[in-house]
Chain A
């Protein structure tokens, strides 16, 4: 079992490395000569050559990659084209905001989804189940920004309860911060929870249809014990995987929500970087998002391995 877990970790490292190569190749090598792009049409050959040497573009691709990797790892990412601030300071400033939001969303969405998913699966075809199924079936196909717009229109514009913009200057009290973040968090929870509820329900139902649950019923085991003692231990693996899978939706949701609410997070920084074609910012943010994602998937994978009795107790 541990062998399997270590193998997964090794594969995780390998994936991060492959992703870094991909990001570097896409942003640095494929688009063509960065020096030419920066100097534009009327560059002289001399100034081009000088800038190439300065940027290290005259060296072979793998050397450029190693230099880039070294700077990425040491946190020396250079200066942002737009603001002139160092990229490291920009990221430092915003990474906390994004993590805080993602954390809040997970802390709310995961318990709610798992509970509702379980409730729906306990009484398939019942009233709760039908409501949940119908509601989530619609919600999973809805774009994030439609949810955000509706929430803004109702809670902010019409009822004037909450601010429509979540700009943070860093001096707000905790209560003010929470108020400012209420709408983006509500948006993300709605979107992420819908998907998670559906998948949890499907996962638990799958377990509930197995012969050993029927056996438990025929042994006269009460329903509550069947769910908690017989079904849940077998559903943990699938549920953890479902949660991890939904982090992908969270990443995309964070990008949309930070933009719509002008929230000063990492995703907003990256989108701005893409618009101004600030490669260094895009590379750094891209690496952070991808690495986090891979790590979380890895954690879920290992959790699933550890919860599998066949692997935990070998023959």
Chain B
């Protein structure tokens, strides 16, 4: 359809249609996912659904102890029970249902990570674009501050801040938001600077357009695709970051279910092997892995579609 339109269009202004300028790049192609990407979308969708509805469909409450089996017999020791029809993934070190806690924990883990990513983005993009557009002293100051933040390994900054202020969910969100805003700032600034020198932005400036128009109409629509890809990667980093802190006992505090803390709490069950306990620690770790790998596969497909140059910027 478009092909025909091009042909007739070309013919009109030119006297000899047979030798006209050859057609340029074809219209943009739609994003096509690989089979791995399609499965990944399903996995991520499933986890998002569980994060929203998990607490309603879970057979038990996250803090509920399993005391009796389905026949009503009391367990001598309900901890680290092997998987059964009653507890699909067995019980944890205190005798709570691992399956239910994973469903509950999805909300905590995904919720914190998503909130932190949003926070990091709002801070990073706002400051990054500001630095790129404003230039001069504003840019200098923000960039040097950013360099200093980036010179501290993320985990170290987290440990030091948690040592000083203790750990709570709002602090975790703020912390991850701050730590990862530094990286986003850098990318947003670079993207902004790249786009700022494009001729179409020059044209808008020469026309006398205001800053708001230039940012919202000229820069952001063009930065959207790289930023979307980057969003996926940041989300992975932040999920891993929060889980690692929880795993170290410095993140989400008990009795709230969180995948990272669940791995830590049940580490001692690992020695019992699969017949008891190992699953209590392995299952939440696998849950994290399935989520992050799935996001990564989607990001990979998207950036392959957008061309290699994106992937380079992300590193």
Q: Establish whether A and B are touching in the complex (CB under 8 Å).
A: yes
Q: Interface residues, chain A, CB within 8 Å of chain B?
A: 15, 18-19, 22-23, 26-27, 30-31, 137-138, 140-146, 149-150, 152-153, 157-158, 164, 199, 202, 206, 245, 248, 251-252, 255-256, 259-260, 270-271, 273-275, 277, 279, 282-283, 286, 289-290, 293-294, 297
For residue B170, CB closer than 8 A to chain A, the reply is no
Task: Across the interface, name the chain B residue whose C-beta is closest to A289.
Answer: B156
Contact of A143 with B250 at beta-carbon distance under 8 Å, contacts A31-B164, A157-B270, A271-B159 already known:
no
Contact B152–A22 (Cβ < 8 Å): yes
Chain B residues 225-275 with CB under 8 Å of chain A are: 236, 240, 243-244, 247-250, 260, 263, 267, 270-271, 273-274
Between-chain CB contacts (< 8 Å), 18 pairs: A15-B147, A141-B292, A142-B289, A142-B292, A146-B288, A149-B285, A150-B282, A157-B270, A202-B311, A255-B155, A255-B244, A256-B247, A259-B247, A260-B267, A277-B163, A277-B166, A283-B160, A289-B156
For residue B223, CB closer than 8 A to chain A, the reply is no
Contact of A256 with B248 at beta-carbon distance under 8 Å, contacts A15-B147, A289-B156, A290-B152 already known:
yes
Contact A274–B285 (Cβ < 8 Å): no
Known: A282-B163, A289-B153. 18 other contacts (CB 8 A): A15-B147, A15-B148, A19-B152, A22-B152, A26-B164, A31-B164, A137-B297, A142-B292, A149-B270, A149-B281, A149-B282, A251-B156, A256-B244, A273-B163, A277-B163, A277-B166, A282-B160, A290-B151
Q: How long is the Cα–Cα vector from A190 to B279 in the complex, in angstroms? A: 22
Shortest CB-to-CB span from B36 to chain A, Å, is 8
Task: Across the interface, name the chain A residue whose C-beta is closest to B315.
Answer: A199
Q: Which residues of A contact B289 (CB under 8 A)?
A: 141-143, 146
Contact of A141 with B295 at beta-carbon distance under 8 Å, contacts A26-B164, A286-B156, A290-B151 already known:
yes
Among candidates B156, B164, B263, residue contacting A145 with C-beta atoms closer than 8 Å:
B263
Size of the B side of the interface (Cβ < 8 Å), in residues, is 47
Task: Across the interface, name the chain B residue whose C-beta is closest to A288.
Answer: B156
For residue B312, CB closer than 8 A to chain A, the reply is yes
From B152, B165, B285, B289, name the one whose CB has the most chain A CB atoms within 10 angstroms: B152
